[in-house]
Amino acid sequence: MNEPKYLMRVLKGELHKTQAKITFEDGSYYNVTRAGSRWWGKNQMLHRDDGPCGIFPDGRRCFYLEMKEYTEEDYWEEVEKREIA
């Protein structure tokens, strides 16, 4: 899986500052960075309940629900348990 807390470290780097942001009616948002990384959030937390929260140009993917990082397998189990997808 991904290196732990990879998304948090990447977002602090200069290349990964938000270049474009879309905010949705439910308060969730989608960001694209200068480097081409994409990430989702809600209520100022890394969060996405229908897929990876962070997708990077090198193919890495990170899975978060309410700021908690999951492996991909654990993520989908948690989504199913919460019945949110």
Residue 38 lies in a domain: yes
Q: Which residues constitute the domain of residue 39?
A: 6-82
Cβ 46 vs Cβ 53: under 8 Å: yes
- How many helices (H) does the chain have, and how many strands (E)? 2, 7
The number of distinct structural domains making up the chain is 1
| 27's tokens | 């308060």
Instruction: Supply the Cα-derived Rg of the chain in whole angstroms.
Output: 12
Whether residue 14 is predicted with pLDDT greater than 70 in this model: the reply is: no
Cβ 25 vs Cβ 19: under 8 Å: no
pTM: 0.74
Beta strand 28-33 pairing with 18-23: antiparallel
Residue 1 lies in a domain: no
Whether residue 15 is predicted with pLDDT greater than 60 in this model: the reply is: no
Cβ 24 vs Cβ 15: under 8 Å: no
pLDDT interval class at 16 (50, 70, 90) = low
